[in-house]
């Protein structure tokens, strides 16, 4: 719009000056066209430059946004790598510990086997010298432990655990009351009886008809007869208590006197 106004003003001026001379006016008109053409060219170049500048500015903003995103990812990866490095160091230390334990386990295994054998020997001797309740079952347990010693598919740790379990079972025998049925040789004949065990302090029996009762004398390693009037009723009641058929109460039982050391 400005260029058109300028052109109009210049033309008017030239027309006014035309009275001064025709050739001069023509020269000035040509110069004016050249000036206007140069100005228009500069304006076009300026518009193109502005478009290019705007495009470059937008690309710069996009690159800056992408750079910030990448830097956030880099920071996150640094934190992750630091934590991963600590985990790797801990795993390396754990591997070293495991390898050391493996080396030690071989030595321990060689030392454990003789210990297990001595424990089984001690358990068998204890059962043989103990009050003979459920003797067959207890000796079978000892035999199972001995069979385990020669088994290649059972680890040393499992063999040791089985021995400890057997010891624990023997320990529990001394803390409870139990009854079971079996047979006993009374001299003239073998009789079916009910055994009553009170911990390890008393092991008594009573025939199934309730007529005969006896007790184990561990010092003499034999059975002894009991007076029927003194113990029959107490043993019968003890059997009912062990079967949970009666409430717990004090019982008059034959107990060996403690020995002086």
| Beta carbons of 176 and 199 less than 8 angstroms apart | yes
pLDDT for the residue numbered 66: 86
212 — pLDDT class (breaks 50, 70, 90): confident
Please give the pLDDT value at position 140.
96
Report the pLDDT value the prediction gives residue 2, as an integer from 0 to 100.
Answer: 47
Q: Is 19 exposed, middle or buried (0-12, 13-18, 19+ CB in 10 A)?
A: exposed
Q: How do residues 83-92 score in pLDDT, each as one tens digit?
A: 888 889 898 8
> Which has more pLDDT, 32 or 5?
32
Q: Which residue has the tokens 């073998």?
A: 190
pLDDT of the residue at 259: 57
Averaged pLDDT of the chain? 82
139 against 95, higher pLDDT: 139
Q: Which of the four pLDDT bands, split at 50, 70 and 90, describes residue 257?
A: low
What lies within 8 Å, CB to CB, of 170 at 6+ separation is: 123, 126, 127, 138
Hey, is 210 helix, strand or coil? Answer: coil
Place of tokens 């184990």: 216
**Most confident by average pLDDT, 18-22, 113-117, 174-178, 189-193:** 113-117
Those residues whose C-beta lies under 8 Å from the C-beta of residue 214, and which sit 6 or more positions away, are: 184, 186, 204, 205, 223, 224, 225, 226
């Amino acid at each position: 719009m400005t260029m058109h106004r300028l052109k109009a003003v210049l033309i008017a001026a030239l027309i006014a000056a035309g009275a001064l001379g025709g050739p001069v006016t023509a020269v000035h008109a040509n110069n004016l066209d050249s000036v206007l053409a140069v100005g228009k060219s500069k304006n076009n170049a300026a518009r193109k430059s502005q478009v290019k500048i705007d495009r470059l500015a937008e690309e710069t903003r996009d690159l800056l946004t992408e750079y910030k995103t990448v830097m956030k990812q880099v920071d996150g990866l640094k934190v992750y790598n630091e934590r991963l490095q600590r985990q790797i160091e801990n795993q390396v230390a754990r591997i070293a510990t495991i390898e050391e334990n493996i080396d030690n386990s071989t030595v321990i295994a060689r030392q454990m086997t003789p210990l297990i054998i001595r424990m089984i020997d001690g358990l068998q001797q204890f059962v043989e010298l103990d009050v003979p309740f459920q003797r067959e079952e207890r000796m079978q347990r000892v035999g199972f432990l001995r069979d385990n010693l020669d088994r290649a598919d059972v680890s040393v740790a499992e063999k040791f655990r089985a021995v400890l379990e057997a010891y624990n079972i023997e320990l529990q025998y001394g803390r409870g009351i139990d009854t079971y049925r079996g047979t006993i040789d009374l001299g003239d004949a073998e009789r079916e009886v009910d055994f009553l065990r009170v911990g390890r302090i008393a092991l008594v029996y009573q025939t199934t008809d309730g007529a005969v009762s006896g007790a184990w004398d561990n010092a003499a390693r034999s059975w002894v007869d009991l007076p029927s009037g003194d113990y029959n009723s107490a043993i019968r009641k003890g059997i009912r208590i062990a079967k949970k058929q009666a409430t717990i109460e004090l019982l008059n039982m034959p107990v060996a006197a403690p020995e002086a050391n």
